[in-house]
């Protein structure tokens, strides 16, 4: 006989696995688990609650991600799941997994540098080209197509590329 | 048929949150006005992105205020259904965009304060404010760097760009004193470790601004008479015009949703 506790832990694991597959609508190679946005899944009285944390303050993808989680869970028969957003502790690009960084690079986006400490006001930073690996790169635009990216160019292979900004 | 404004019970913490939320919303809205009009594509994206960060910060602060007030208000009601006199933002952030230099200088004066302010607020005893601060701090640092570089480029650029930048500095200077505003309400929050004393940030702000303006070959004005009033709802004529645009949809079609 399967105990209630086992059942709950199975449900929690299933809900986690399903939620972990939800992707960032702006960067569809990254799941919310890769990003470090998925924080926790709890089961209380049979009800699933998924906890996520926002990336950038104004990132419009967050509403979409919350909706996608609910839809994905509903498809697996987990109805009435709630998505809760917590602010603390604040998300940082340091939470992005190694696998996530590799996927980003393969997708053509330079991953954020680890140790997202504060840069000096006019500090230089070195970003490697995701195409050829050269560090002979320069910034074209500090703001890019989404709030998490800047536009860079490789001086070696001449390719422009997106850089996932440290946060 | 216009919809009536909401009333807000401004307990000290609600008022404190609304003041910062209003700063972020109004400045974010001003930056959004550049969308499609900036002098180059990169800066069009920069203003839109900085505006997005600020509106995101505003949303978090409004949501926090709504939870504290617990009177059925929410982020949308605060933004769309308060009249001019109910807005608590700094006069600086409601000043019109003017030319590119004026928008950059307005942002420099604000970000040079917001950057150390949010960094200090990360130690707030209020957990939500500390969490909002941890996010806003990184965004403010990025904004500050960007507009500092532009200030230098404009000030130390052509005769024309220098003239425009210097005019912007002089026109906006009287609005910078209000960054350091406190009153009895805030003093109590400062004493409790919830808020930061802006006076403790004054030297840092002055150093940053002086350093950037001097590098830009711009003249730092002497500290003369400073304008104030925004924190208590006494605004310049510009805010009403801004709100008439920001709120027109909700005022005309109450409760309209996407």
The predicted-structure confidence for B27-49, as pLDDT tens digits, reads as follows 999 999 999 999 999 999 999 99
Q: Which residues on A lie below 8 Å from B79 (Cβ)?
A: none
Tell me whether B138 touches chain A (CB under 8 Å): yes
Check if A84 contacts B (Cβ < 8 Å). Answer: no
pLDDT (0 to 100) of residue A122: 44
- Assess whether pLDDT exceeds 80 at residue A121: no
**A98 has pLDDT over 80:** yes
Angle at A148 between CA A40 and CA A94, to 5 degrees: 50
Answer whether residue A53 shows pLDDT above 80: yes
**pLDDT-derived band at B257, boundaries 50, 70, 90:** confident
Of A56, A119, A141, the CB nearest to B56: A56
Spatial contact of A87 and A138, defined as CB atoms under 8 Å apart = no
Report the range out of B114-123, B130-139, B249-258 with the highest average pLDDT: B114-123
Flag if A57 and B144 touch (Cβ within 8 Å).
no
Spatial neighbors of B221 by CB under 8 A, at least 6 apart, are B169, B170, B173
The mean pLDDT value of chain A amounts to: 88
Judge contact between A72 and A145, C-beta under 8 A.
no
- Contact with chain B for residue A39, Cβ under 8 A: no
A54: pLDDT strictly greater than 80: yes
**Is the pLDDT score of B53 beyond 70?**
yes
Burial of A120 (0-12, 13-18, 19+ CB in 10 A): exposed
What pLDDT is attached to residue B192? 97
Measured distance CA(A39)–CA(B149) in Å, rounded: 37
Please name each of the domains of chain A with its CATH number: 4-91 (3.30.300.130), 96-118+125-164 (no CATH)
pLDDT tens per residue, range B204-233: 999 999 999 999 999 999 988 999 999 999
Determine the average pLDDT of the residues in A89-108.
Answer: 93
Residue-wise pLDDT tens digits, B101-113: 999 999 999 999 9
How high does pLDDT run on average in chain B? 96
pLDDT band at A120 (very low <50, low <70, confident <90, very high): very low
Give yes or no for a contact between A122 and B145, defined as CB atoms under 8 angstroms apart. Answer: yes
Q: Please say if the pLDDT value at position A5 is more than 70.
A: no
Nearest of A3, A22, A2, A27 to residue A74 by alpha carbon: A22
Residue A90 has its nearest CB partner, among B48, B135, B145, at: B135
Task: Assign A4 a pLDDT band (cuts: 50, 70, 90).
Answer: low
* % pLDDT > 90, chain B: 96
Strands A137-141 and A149-154: antiparallel
% of chain B with per-residue pLDDT over 70: 99
Residue B235 is encoded by which pair of tokens? 């605004």
Q: Is pLDDT at A2 greater than 70 in this prediction?
A: no
Contact partners, residue A131, CB within 8 Å, separation at least 6: A108, A154, A157, A159, A161
The alpha-helical segments, DSSP class H, found in chain B are 12-32, 41-69, 75-80, 91-94, 100-121, 127-155, 159-173, 184-191, 202-215, 237-252
At A107, give phi and psi (nearest 5°): -80, -10
pLDDT at A124 > cutoff 80: no
Mean per-residue pLDDT for B164-193? 97
pLDDT score of B2: 64
pTM of the model: 0.92
A107: closest CA among A64, A59, A149? Answer: A149
pLDDT higher than threshold 50 for residue B23: yes
Q: What is the side-by-side order of every strand in the sheet holding A38-44? A: A38-44, A47-52, A82-85
Asked whether the predicted pLDDT for residue A148 surpasses 90, the reply is no
ipTM score for this prediction: 0.84
Helix axes B202-215, B127-155, angle to 10 degrees: 20
Question: Taking residues B200-205, what's their average pLDDT?
Answer: 98
Domains and CATH numbers, chain B: 12-219+227-252 (1.20.1260.10)
* Residue B10, Cβ density class (10 Å: 0-12 exposed, 13-18 middle, ≥19 buried): middle
A144 lies within 8 A of chain B by CB: yes
């Amino acid at each position: 006989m399967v105990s209630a506790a086992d059942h709950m832990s199975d449900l929690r694991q299933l809900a986690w696995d399903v939620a972990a597959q939800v992707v960032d609508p702006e960067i569809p190679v990254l799941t919310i688990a890769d990003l470090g946005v998925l924080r926790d899944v709890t089961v209380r009285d049979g009800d699933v609650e998924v906890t996520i944390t926002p990336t950038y303050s104004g990132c419009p993808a967050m509403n979409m991600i919350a909706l996608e989680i609910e839809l994905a869970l509903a498809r697996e028969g987990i109805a009435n799941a709630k998505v809760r957003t917590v602010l603390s502790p604040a998300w940082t690009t340091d939470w992005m997994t190694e696998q996530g960084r590799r996927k980003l690079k393969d997708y053509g986006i330079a991953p954020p540098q680890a140790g997202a400490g504060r840069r000096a006001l006019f500090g230089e930073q070195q970003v490697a080209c995701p195409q050829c690996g050269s560090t002979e790169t320069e910034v074209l635009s500090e703001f890019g197509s989404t709030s998490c990216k800047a536009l860079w160019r490789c001086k070696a292979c001449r390719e422009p590329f997106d850089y996932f900004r440290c946060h | 048929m216009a919809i009536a404004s909401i009333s807000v019970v401004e307990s000290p913490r609600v008022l404190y949150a609304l003041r910062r939320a209003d700063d972020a919303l109004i400045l974010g809205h001003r930056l959004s006005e550049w969308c499609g009009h900036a002098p180059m594509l990169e800066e069009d994206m920069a203003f839109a992105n900085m505006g997005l960060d600020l509106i995101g910060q505003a949303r978090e602060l409004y949501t926090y205020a709504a939870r504290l007030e617990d009177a059925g208000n929410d982020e949308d009601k605060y933004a769309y259904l308060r009249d001019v006199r109910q807005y608590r933002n700094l006069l600086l952030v409601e000043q019109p965009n003017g030319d590119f230099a004026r928008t950059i200088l307005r942002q420099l004066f604000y970000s040079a304060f917001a950057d150390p302010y949010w960094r200090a607020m990360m130690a707030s005893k209020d957990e939500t404010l500390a969490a909002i601060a941890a996010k806003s701090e990184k965004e403010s640092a990025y904004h500050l760097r960007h507009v500092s570089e532009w200030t230098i480029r404009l000030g130390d650029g052509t005769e024309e760009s220098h003239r425009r930048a210097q005019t912007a500095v002089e026109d906006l200077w009287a609005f910078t004193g209000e960054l350091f505003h406190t009153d009895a309400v805030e003093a109590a929050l400062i004493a409790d470790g919830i808020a930061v004393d802006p006076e403790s940030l004054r030297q840092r702000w002055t150093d940053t601004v002086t350093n950037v303006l001097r590098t830009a070959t711009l003249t730092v004005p002497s500290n003369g008479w400073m304008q104030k009033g925004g924190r208590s709802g006494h605004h310049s004529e510009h805010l009403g015009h801004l709100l008439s645009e920001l709120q027109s949809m909700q005022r005309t079609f109450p409760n309209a949703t996407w």
